[in-house]
Amino acid sequence: MPLTPLFAAVDVGGTKIAGALVDGAGRLRHRLQLPTPAREPGPAVLAVVHKVLDQLAGTPDWAAVTAVGIGSAGPVDLADGTVSPVNIPGWRGFPLVAEVAAHPAVAGLPVRLAGDGVAMAAAEHWQGAARGAANALCLVVSTGVGAGLVLDGAVRPGPSGNAGHLGHITVDLDGEPCPCGSRGCLEGLASGTAIARRALAEGWRPPGEDATARAVAASAAVGDPVALASFDRAAQALAAGIAATAALVDLHRVVVGGGVATAGEVLFAPLARHLDRYAALSYVRGLDVRRAELGTDAGLIGAAALCR
């Protein structure tokens, strides 16, 4: 009996490196993840990627693998096959595609790369909340803010692979300097890190040990005004970025995922309110904002989607 083709998927983030084999319907097999030694030199991080590949290659299903897809924290450079994840300092211009292609089990297979925002968009377009949309913006709001674009029916990574990187557009003209070199970036206002930092600065006190955006969300859900204000400010920044994108490229479907989106109405209610103000032109009014459906597996499913 002929084998059903599978894709090998690897998702490289600042906290974990995950891998799986993915079938033609987006279902995962042999999923595993290992912690990213993000503060260690580049070769130590690569060793974890190879360990993930070793484990996948050790399964009988590996014989059916026809391509390897990699989603990586960015920025990425598709032309060179390199990655320079902000939160993995040991990798700058790191030749990830060549290093994965050099793994003995991968030799000869095509290797595809995308930034994590583009991978998430590819996943949601293939199997999630952007399915059926010819045009969509898909955002990941977590410790940072990433995004990817679907235009005219296809995911558009752009020449470098970073198209749609909404986290680093300026939404506050004279805002705070951003680590990227610009100022007033969306990420600096809307990320989980920003939500927690602002709430703490305004006098919010975490109920327990956890002082992250998740704890701010819990306080907001029971009416804490400082916590609510911090989410409102993040939602306002997101709305400005989403409305600008919709006006620019003429899209209607917006998918929001990532850890901060799990706050639910604490984020989505003010987001809808601010979008009413910012998305005002006739062709962007009433944007269809949906919650992402694929959760933490979006990176793996998206890496596989790149191989199709």
Report the interface residues with Zn ion, using CB under 5 A: 168, 178, 180, 182, 185
Identify whether the C-beta of residue 124 lies closer than 8 Å to the C-beta of residue 294.
yes
Question: Between 15 and 182, whose beta carbon lies closer to Zn ion?
Answer: 182
Question: Between 177 and 286, whose beta carbon lies closer to Zn ion?
Answer: 177
The beta-carbon contacts of 94-101 under 8 Å, at least 24 apart in sequence, are 94/42, 94/46, 96/12, 96/46, 96/49, 96/70, 96/72, 97/70, 99/46, 99/49, 100/10, 100/49, 100/53, 100/68, 100/70, 101/68
Question: Between 26 and 241, whose beta carbon lies closer to Zn ion?
Answer: 241
Three-state DSSP at 171 gives coil
Question: Between 4 and 182, whose beta carbon lies closer to Zn ion?
Answer: 182
Instruction: Report the distance separating Cα 21 and Cα 30, nearest Å.
Output: 6
User: Tokens standing for 36?
Assistant: 């990213």
User: Tokens standing for 135?
Assistant: 């045009």
Instruction: Report the distance separating Cα 289 and Cα 255, nearest Å.
Output: 6
Question: Between 180 and 229, whose beta carbon lies closer to Zn ion?
Answer: 180
**At its nearest, how many Å lie between Zn ion and the CB of residue 224?**
29
**At its nearest, how many Å lie between Zn ion and the CB of residue 126?**
29
**At its nearest, how many Å lie between Zn ion and the CB of residue 8?**
32
Instruction: Report the distance separating Cα 241 and Cα 137, nearest Å.
Output: 11
**At its nearest, how many Å lie between Zn ion and the CB of residue 183?**
8
**At its nearest, how many Å lie between Zn ion and the CB of residue 146?**
12
Instruction: Report the distance separating Cα 199 and Cα 161, nearest Å.
Output: 34
